[in-house]
Amino acid sequence: MKKGYAVGYGKPPKHSRFKRGQSGNLKGRPKAARGIEAILRAELQTVITVEENGFPRKFSKRDVIIKRLVNKAVQGDAKSLQIILNLTDRHGEDPTPPREQEAIDKLILQEYGRRLSRKVYHEPAN
């Protein structure tokens, strides 16, 4: 070392500096640990090939789990049915089929229209 060289902040000793042509941390910055939610989400999004009706089809693992859960519920498995009902309640989905729901909506609107027309024309209620 030269006598006039001061070692200190921002001035590391020459022997500990990066060699020529080599810079930075070769191993790189370590990846942050992923939480269980991120790991589960990534695993459920993984696509797998499943045979359906004799043909191979690609589905995410999430889709396969839901299909199997629904099939077990249809076969009469009470636990699967309870899980599905809890999921539909939690996510605000109406388990009523769309055609049945349309018929129910139509009846409600007809009844509302009938009551409204009675008020407009001041007809006595039956």
Phi, psi of 96 (to 5 degrees): -70, 130
CA angle, 81 then 83 then 89, to 5°: 100
The per-residue pLDDT for 63 is 93
The per-residue pLDDT for 42 is 93
pLDDT tens, residue by residue, 16-26: 877 777 767 77
> Domain map of the chain by residue range?
38-95, 96-126
Contact (CB, 8 A) for 64 and 48: yes
3-state secondary structure of 57: strand
Q: Would you say residue 81 has pLDDT above 70?
A: yes
Q: Indicate the Cα dihedral angle 36, 37, 42, 44, nearest 10°.
A: 100
